[in-house]
Structure 1
């Protein structure tokens, strides 16, 4: 049953190309400098070929659109990035401690709300 639901979520080649073209149009028009990918460890749970495609996409947007990808995720994401020197050389890893409900946290929430 799980494989049937996975097949249902796969895009046809035409749908994939259409979505890729839409993304390219957005990136070309908006010209972002940073792309933040949260829960990145979830992108690493697919087949090896799919994971390679994710990293190829990150490399492409960096080269084609001068976008710096910022990936946020669990330790598994760091482990995968560090697994090969080719991928590790593209990222600076920074450990971020969990937020504490303190004055700094409340100040951050205030600044987000004000923005």
Structure 2
């Protein structure tokens, strides 16, 4: 909650709002789920590697596509995402949130394993 308490107020005066917080939360939840999946996987095959780290990679490719390319070709699927990528990726709170939340959520299982 502390990481999102400023609601993404940026130096240029823009406020991220619910889309900024929701996207950060979704990214952290995806990280939690994928790390948990990695923890319970006994044998890593090429398909496991494609599925677990590949899912996070697909998300980090999908977000800029929706935020930049969609509006550039006049396909406003999610107009709220326009310009959100620099706000997210340029914010230290986002990266700390995305790294620390999955770590803390899976710490017990990681220690147990």
Larger radius of gyration: 1
Which one scores higher on RCO, CA 8 angstroms, separation ≥ 6? 2
TM-score band (shorter)?
under 0.3
The structure in which a higher percent of residues are strand is 1
The alignment's TM-score, normalised by the length of structure 2, stands at 0.27
